[in-house]
């Protein structure tokens, strides 16, 4: 890597290095002899944000390339060294994505809206025998050949956001301007690592059956048919949908999730949902909520407002939000004095269990999709998932809406990302009445089946019936109208206001607007 001066990086910031020996010229490629003597043990590497790390990473990449060509390398060595190289690249700060301002323009730069583009579906990458997939795969390869001067701004933006932490964390001092040459080299190196990483992961990517692929083509639609997916997937809806979503948002790549570990994790999550054979709270419901969250993220533009880690946490929260549901309500747990109610002191009993059991699963190395997160990333991820899943407790519903409404009516609302994502997840959790009639009808019948089974248990235990649980005395239609009118519709209303508040300014919406509910001032201005 050739850069504009030797500078020691501060944490998460710039490491721009000039090779002291080459004085701005390209360094000579290492000889075979040098490569033969390379110590490949990842333990003996310098810290990623040091100048020496660039040399070491480059040397290792050369070595890996040679060994790959010879077919003499273990997946583990490859993975560890690529991860190291990726981290070195992430420590290189690139600030070439901003448009130059006209001279004398002193205004603060407008916050750029990073427009995400979802990745190629993994089933399209895997099935290279299909022409459409082949074209996409070819395009990927072409990208890796591109010369830095020819990199268009949006590609550069993507590269910068993928291979540096610039958009998420770091701020450059005004006097630290990298030369384009340094950026170009970083981009080239980034493409190089990305290409190798993709080669490794794409060979390991899960295969998708043709029937699953067919159903997943409608993944971006509001009335996606998760029942059809489950059928096509032989009952493994979460496995394919979870995998596909994490791939589409680039999470597998960004957080270096080993594909087999992801497969294990999703498989175990799926099992947990099937443990009690619930008519409603099963793997289908989890897959349905995850797909609806995806719709909200991509169709509203919410994904452009959230960071990678926030998206990762939101998708995982959706997938695990009812993990190991017992098919009975919190009220039943409390009234029957279940072990779980005892453990969680009657508060958010099920929700606490869903989270705790999911994080317990993540302690198993074979299922730990968070294994390559830094300590800070892990803490943030965990906090987000806990907050989001706890907020699916229906007893928090009115408070949640009230808090959000109150905040939106402030003169200058500041929407907290975790609260926004929590509200979105909550809305997706109760969204089936807003879906196509046949889907909604099926969900409602399943839920009532589950409620009635609980009623049967309550009768056996001599407990009073919980609401909607007495199969002989429940007004189904009326209860549904009430649920839609008093719970679902107001939730969607507040969620829409919240989305307009945070996304309106980013998408150029102008002028004041009246929020729903208790009325307010409008013309929202929101901060990250
Ligand atoms: P859960 O999925 O844990 O969280 C959202 C809750 O909303 C869900 O459990 C049910 O308790 C409730 N819910 C969802 N759909 C309906 C419905 N059609 N009628 C009544 N309650 C519902
Ligand atoms: Mg729940
Ligand atoms: Zn749910």
Q: Is the CB of 480 under 6 A from ligand 1?
A: yes
Nearest protein Cα to ligand 1, atom 20? 483
Least distant ligand from the CA of 426: 1
480 marked as part of a ligand binding site? yes
Task: Name which residue leads in pLDDT, 182 or 7.
Answer: 182
Whether residue 152 is predicted with pLDDT greater than 80 in this model: the reply is: no
DSSP type of residue 471: T
283 marked as part of a ligand binding site? yes
Residue from 185, 253, 281, 333 carrying the catalytic annotation? 281
Whether residue 253 is predicted with pLDDT greater than 60 in this model: the reply is: yes
Q: Is the CB of 503 under 6 A from ligand 1?
A: no
Q: Is 114 within 8 Å of 228 (Cβ atoms)?
A: no
Q: Is the CB of 447 under 6 A from ligand 1?
A: yes
User: What's the mean per-residue pLDDT of the chain?
Assistant: 79
Query: Distance (Å, rounded) from C-alpha 51 to C-alpha 54?
Result: 6
Least distant ligand from the CA of 329: 1
454 marked as part of a ligand binding site? no
Q: Which of 447, 449, 489, 490 to mutate to test the pocket of ligand 1 (most atoms within 8 A of CB)?
A: 447
Task: Name which residue leads in pLDDT, 309 or 84.
Answer: 309
Q: Is the CB of 331 under 6 A from ligand 1?
A: no
Q: Which of 353, 483, 486 to mutate to test the pocket of ligand 1 (most atoms within 8 A of CB)?
A: 483
Q: Is the CB of 225 under 6 A from ligand 1?
A: no
pLDDT band of residue 478 (cuts 50, 70, 90) is very high
Query: How far does the chain reach from its first CA to its final CA, in angstroms?
Result: 34
Residue 89: predicted pLDDT: 73
DSSP string for 295-348: HHHHHHSGGGTS-HHHHHHHHHHHHHTTTT--SS-HHHHHHHT-HHHHHTTTSS
Q: Is the CB of 291 under 6 A from ligand 1?
A: no
Query: Distance (Å, rounded) from C-alpha 50 to C-alpha 415?
Result: 37
The closest-lying atom of ligand 1 relative to the alpha carbon of residue 429 is: 5
285 marked as part of a ligand binding site? yes
321 marked as part of a ligand binding site? yes
Task: Name which residue leads in pLDDT, 286 or 3.
Answer: 286
- 319-340 average pLDDT score: 98
Query: pTM of the full predicted structure?
Result: 0.68
- 220-237 average pLDDT score: 98
Query: Distance (Å, rounded) from C-alpha 9 to C-alpha 176?
Result: 12
Cα(308) to centroid(ligand 2), Å: 25
Q: Is the CB of 284 under 6 A from ligand 1?
A: no
Nearest protein Cα to ligand 1, atom 13? 430
In the Cβ-directed half-sphere of 258, how many Cα atoms lie within 13 Å? 16
Whether residue 516 is predicted with pLDDT greater than 60 in this model: the reply is: no
Known active-site residue 281: yes
Q: Choose from 23-32, 423-432, 502-511 the range with maximum mean pLDDT.
A: 423-432
Q: Which of 292, 430, 437 to mutate to test the pocket of ligand 1 (most atoms within 8 A of CB)?
A: 430
247 marked as part of a ligand binding site? no
Q: Is 261 within 8 Å of 368 (Cβ atoms)?
A: yes
- 32-51 average pLDDT score: 69
Give the gyration radius of the chain's Cα atoms: 26
Query: Distance (Å, rounded) from C-alpha 447 to C-alpha 323?
Result: 16
Q: Is the CB of 483 under 6 A from ligand 1?
A: yes
Least-confidence region, from 118-132, 135-149, 264-278, 340-354: 135-149
Task: Name which residue leads in pLDDT, 473 or 168.
Answer: 473
Residues 6+ apart with CB under 8 A from 46: 52, 53, 56
- Report H helices in 207-307: 210-216, 226-232, 237-248, 251-254, 259-274, 283-300
Residue 412: predicted pLDDT: 95
Nearest protein Cα to ligand 1, atom 3? 322
Q: Is the CB of 444 under 6 A from ligand 1?
A: yes
Q: Is 36 within 8 Å of 46 (Cβ atoms)?
A: no
Cα(322) to centroid(ligand 3), Å: 5
Nearest protein Cα to ligand 1, atom 1? 429
Nearest protein Cα to ligand 1, atom 2? 429
Nearest protein Cα to ligand 1, atom 12? 430
Nearest protein Cα to ligand 1, atom 7? 430
Whether residue 74 is predicted with pLDDT greater than 70 in this model: the reply is: yes
Query: Distance (Å, rounded) from C-alpha 124 to C-alpha 257?
Result: 19
429 marked as part of a ligand binding site? yes
3-class state of residue 250 by DSSP: coil
């Amino acid at each position: 890597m050739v850069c504009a001066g030797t500078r020691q990086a501060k944490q998460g910031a710039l490491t721009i290095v000039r090779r002291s020996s080459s004085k701005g010229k390209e360094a000579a490629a290492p000889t075979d002899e040098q490569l033969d003597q390379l110590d490949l043990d990842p333990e003996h590497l310098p810290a990623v944000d040091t100048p020496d790390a660039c040399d070491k990473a480059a040397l290792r990449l050369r070595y890996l390339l040679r060994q790959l060509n010879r077919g003499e390398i273990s997946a583990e060595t490859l993975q560890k060294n690529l991860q190291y190289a990726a981290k070195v690249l992430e420590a290189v700060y690139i600030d070439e994505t901003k448009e130059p301002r006209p001279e004398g323009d002193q205004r603060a730069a407008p916050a750029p809206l990073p427009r995400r583009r979802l990745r190629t579906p993994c089933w399209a990458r895997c099935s290279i025998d299909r022409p459409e997939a082949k074209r996409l795969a070819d395009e990927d390869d072409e990208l890796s050949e591109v010369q830095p001067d020819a990199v268009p701004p949006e590609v550069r933006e993507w590269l910068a956001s993928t291979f540096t932490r610039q958009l998420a964390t770091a701020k450059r001092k005004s006097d630290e301007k990298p030369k384009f040459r340094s950026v170009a080299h970083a981009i080239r190196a980034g493409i190089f690592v990305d290409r190798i990483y993709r080669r490794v992961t794409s060979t390991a990517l899960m295969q998708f059956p043709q029937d699953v692929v067919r159903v997943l083509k409608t993944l971006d639609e509001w009335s996606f048919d998760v029942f059809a997916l489950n059928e096509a997937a032989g009952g493994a809806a979460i496995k394919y949908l979870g995998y596909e979503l994490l791939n589409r948002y680039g999470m597998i790549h960004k957080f270096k999730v080993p594909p087999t570990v992801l497969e294990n994790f999703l498989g175990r999550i799926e099992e947990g949902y099937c443990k009690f054979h619930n008519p409603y709270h099963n793997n289908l419901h989890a897959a349905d909520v995850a797909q609806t969250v995806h719709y909200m993220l991509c169709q509203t533009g919410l994904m452009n407002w959230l960071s990678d880690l926030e998206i990762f946490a939101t998708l995982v929260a959706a997938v695990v939000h009812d993990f190991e549901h017992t098919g009975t309500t919190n009220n039943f747990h409390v009234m029957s004095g279940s072990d779980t109610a005892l453990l969680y002191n009657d508060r958010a009993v099920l929700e606490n269990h869903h989270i705790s059991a999911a994080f317990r699963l993540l302690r198993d190395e074979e299922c730990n999709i968070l294994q390559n997160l830094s300590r800070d990333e892990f803490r943030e991820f965990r906090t987000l998932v806990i907050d989001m899943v706890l907020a699916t407790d229906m007893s928090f519903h009115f408070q949640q809406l009230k808090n959000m409404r109150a905040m939106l009516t402030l003169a200058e609302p500041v929407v907290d990302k975790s609260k926004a994502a929590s509200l979105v997840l909550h809305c997706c959790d109760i969204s089936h009445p807003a879906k196509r009639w046949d889907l909604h009808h099926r969900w409602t019948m399943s839920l009532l089946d589950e409620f009635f089974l609980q009623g049967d248990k309550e009768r056996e235990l001599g407990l009073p019936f919980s609401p909607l649980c007495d199969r002989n005395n429940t007004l189904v239609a009326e209860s549904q109208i009430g649920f839609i009118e008093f719970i679902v519709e107001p939730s969607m209303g507040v969620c829409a206001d919240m989305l307009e508040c945070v996304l309106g300014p980013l998408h150029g919406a102008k002028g004041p607007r009246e929020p729903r509910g208790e009325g307010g001032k409008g013309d929202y201005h929101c901060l990250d």
